[in-house]
Structure formats: C-alpha cells, structure tokens
Structure 1
Amino acid sequence: MNVNEAIAIMKEEGHKYTDKRRDMLQLFADESRYLAAKDVLEALKPTYGGMSFDTIYRNLSLFTDLGILEATELDGEKRFRFNCATTHHHHHIICLECGRTSHIHHCPMEAAAVSAPGFEVVDHKFEIYGYCRECRQTEAG
C-alpha cells in the first residue's frame, strides 16, 4: 500500500481527500512500524497545531475500515500501520519497543487442527511480540 493507492481507495468509497488525510497517510508510508494516535499527533502537530485526538481517531478508524491501515494492540494501546502490500498470507513479529514489524511466512494455523462443531473459521491473526536487534542493543548499551 502507498499513499496514492490509499487516496484512490478513499475516493472510490466516496470520502473526501484533504491535506490532513494525505499527510497522515504519508506518515504511515514513511514508517515501517505500528504507530499510536499520539505518534500521529506528535508528527503532525508542527503543521496542524490545532488537530485533535478526535480527528486523528476518526481518520484512523476510517482508514482501518477501508482496509488502508491494519490495527493491533500493544501495551493496551491500539496502534496502526499501512496494510501490507503483499497478497500472500502471512503474519508478523512486532517489536514492543519501537513497533517495527517483520513478516512471518509460515502460518501456525497450517499445523493446528482448529475445529469446533458448527464453527467455520473465516479469518485469523497471529502476532509474535519481542524486541528487535536495534532495541536490544540500545538497551544493553
């Protein structure tokens, strides 16, 4: 996913294109990690000093509903990142310190016999949390 694809999705779904939305999307395009609403506010504050958390949360919710962003919860806080551009099924490892992600190309559901009478699995999410090399080195240093 990139900013132009995200804007096209917004327009196709009948949502307004604004500079604030473009700048929010650009922030996610520039980062390869999950961002919290406070990260978005901090990054956009110099340009949009009066931007509120309500505005940020509304747009994060819209972008998630449109499939532009994906969400997870880290340390009890919802965080967001651009939806993966890959079309193959995969999962993520996520650094608890910086929020960077990497793909896991093996799906644990392939090995798990998940079944329950009358239940049809239609989707699943698998994430592994830990600390990346850079954050571990910073901590040790």
Structure 2
Amino acid sequence: MESIPIHETKTVQTRLVLPPDTNHLDTIFGGKVLAYIDEIAALAAMKHARGTVVTASIDSVDFLSSAKAGDTLTLEAFVTYTGYSSMEVYVKVTAHDLLKDEKKLTTESFVTMVALNENGEPIPVRKVHPETDEDWKLYETAPLRREIRQKRIASRKK
C-alpha cells in the first residue's frame, strides 16, 4: 500500500461564532468546539482512508484561549500518523477577530479515527509521510502518544 504526503490529508473549515454558540461570558461553549473538532478530524481521516471512519479516541484537547461571538474559527486538521486501521489526526483551532484583525490559537487536539468497511470491521489505511518541520515533529512524537493511549485503555480493562 502506498504512502502519501501528510499535506494531502489537510482539511480546513471556517465557522462564525454566533450568540447561540456562546455561554454567559460571551465565549464559545467548549462542547461546540469539541463537535467541530470531531467533525473535521473525521473529514481529514475520510479523505485519507477514502471511506468510512469512526472516532476511537479524543486523546487531548487543550483549550488555550477563548473565542467570542462575532469571531471566526478556522479549524485545520491532518493525519499525522497511521497504524493498521487507525489514524491520528491533529486539529488546530484559531480564532480571528475580524474587526480588530487579531488571530489567536484557541485549541489543539489529537483525535484517533479508525477506518471501517461496510460491515463495520477495521480495514487497513495507507501510511503518511511528513514533509514540513511541523509534520516531522508531530510524526516523530506520534508513537509515544499512541503508547500512552494504549496504556490508558489497557488500564481500564483490568
């Protein structure tokens, strides 16, 4: 099975933060951001797998700053590493205050998606290969994140 460059899995979405999306502090609900993260991670993984995927894990979500009503959110996702049927997807969320033309990183996350066939069984996915410095950093650190994830899951089975 061939390997593809990470950039071919890149997916970008832009969303407007509306008042119903915000809490009493006028900032976006974390759960809303999580839904956006899950959706874009699935899109990047589907692009890579060329088929159906499901979310296996949202390993980490770091809320670094907030976005308020009127801001736009740009979500970027790409596959950083693959296993047999699993894909680690990195998601970065940036808020843009259009009136002040100020941008800030709001959220970073790692999501594991699994490719499935029509019977719901895991199927193999292509490998990815890094090209940029950011790609390399994420690619080289992915096995450690995978090991931590597997230990966490194994500890729950005891």
TM range (shorter): under 0.3
> Under a length normalisation based on structure 1, what TM-score does the superposition of the two structures give?
0.28
Higher relative contact order (CA 8 A, sep 6+): 2
Please, what TM-score do these two structures have when normalized by structure 2? 0.26
Q: Indicate the structure with greater strand content.
A: 2
Higher helix share: 1
